Amino acid sequence: MKVTYNKCPVCNSNSIGPYIECKDYLVSGELFPIYRCPECQLEFTQYHPGEQESGKYYESVDYIPHSDAIKSFTGKIYYTVRKFMLLKKKNLVIKYTGKRTGTILDFGSGTGHFAITMKKAGWDATGIEPDNDAREYSLKNFGIKAMRPEEMKILPSFSFDCITLWHVLEHLHNPFQSLSEIKRLLRPNGILIIATPNNMSFDSIHYRHLWAAYDAPRHLWHFNPVSFSYMAGKAGFEIISMKKLPFDVFYISILSEKNRGSRIPLFNGLLKGSIFFLLSLFDVTRSSSIVYLLKHSESGKGNADY
């Protein structure tokens, strides 16, 4: 049973229509239409498999690092970049919460690398992760006991200084329900951090249907600052700042070059990625992905009609 939207899932507009068609390059080779809402600029994957059937589209997505991969040259680069990114993410949390230590919830904690980074820095870190293997890995390797998403409801209200979703929101089948739960869990002065690809980035406009961050049908929602701000407002949050994750544009450009069948995807991806990176230095709203820093909105609880 394919999921079909007759109106915009964010702003309820009836004017939605097909925009482009994206291939699932990673697993199935199937085509998925991406629809666009002219009112709020949201793009979303139409006719995607529902939550129950989505598992097979994640089958070749391996979350557990293997020792040979770690030893290889590209593996070494990957792990150096990841270390740098974990540090950058930690610094964002400390800067925007204004706290050296506190309570943090990493929603979609995967193998637990970010949660353990925060734990080592003195934070009380909790993970939420649907994948069984990833949860086991984080417990075995880091002593981080991640919860299943359905267990979130037992967490006490207003118990976190910070809640993070690093490239997770675009995968959620019911992001509005999750945001409402996150709103309950975040302290009144807490900070919500959401990183997600940006469909008005220079790389997205350049690659269009080949843009790797469409990643259909795993990515269901394709935001930009306009649509994201609309959704956040409706969920009872307001954006206080936007930042970029500097390496995303290179990674996405290399993958997009592979999607277009380039014979030298690494070279072309790094070259074009550098140009997109330099251009976006002057305008964060055009960067490949955006880290949104949010707080509870002043105006009240948000609209509960999701």
103 contacts 160 by C-beta, under 8 angstroms: yes
63-89: b or e for each residue (b if 16 or more CB lie within 10 Å)? eebeeeeeeeeeeeebeeeeeebbeeb
The helix/strand/coil state of 17 is strand
Q: What binding mask, one character per residue, do residues 3-42 give for Zn ion by CB under 5 A, x or -?
A: -----x-xx-x-----------------------x-xx-x
Q: Which is nearer to Zn ion, 37 or 144 (CB)?
A: 37
Q: Least distance in Å: CB of 122 to Zn ion?
A: 42
What is the side-by-side strand order in the sheet with 43-45?
17-23, 31-36, 43-45, 221-222
Q: Which of 236, 110, 225 is nearest to 167 (CA)?
A: 110
Q: Which is nearer to Zn ion, 44 or 247 (CB)?
A: 44
Which positions from 41 through 80 interact with Zn ion, judged by CB under 5 A? Answer: 42
Q: Least distance in Å: CB of 228 to Zn ion?
A: 12
Q: What binding mask, one character per residue, do residues 178-217 give for Zn ion by CB under 5 A, x or -?
A: ----------------------------------------
By CB under 5 A, which span of 1-9, 77-85, 100-108, 289-297 interacts with Zn ion? 1-9
48 contacts 172 by C-beta, under 8 angstroms: no
Rounded Cα–Cα distance for residues 42 and 222 (Å): 6
Residue 153 gets which letter from DSSP? G
Q: Which is nearer to Zn ion, 138 or 199 (CB)?
A: 199
Q: Which is nearer to Zn ion, 13 or 189 (CB)?
A: 13
Tell me how far CA of residue 51 lies from CA of 3, 8, 97, 130, 169, in angstroms: 9, 19, 33, 12, 14
Q: Least distance in Å: CB of 229 to Zn ion?
A: 12
Q: Which is nearer to Zn ion, 11 or 139 (CB)?
A: 11
Task: Using CB under 5 A, count the residues that bind Zn ion.
Answer: 8
Give the interface with Zn ion as residue ranges (CB under 5 A). Answer: 8, 10-11, 13, 37, 39-40, 42
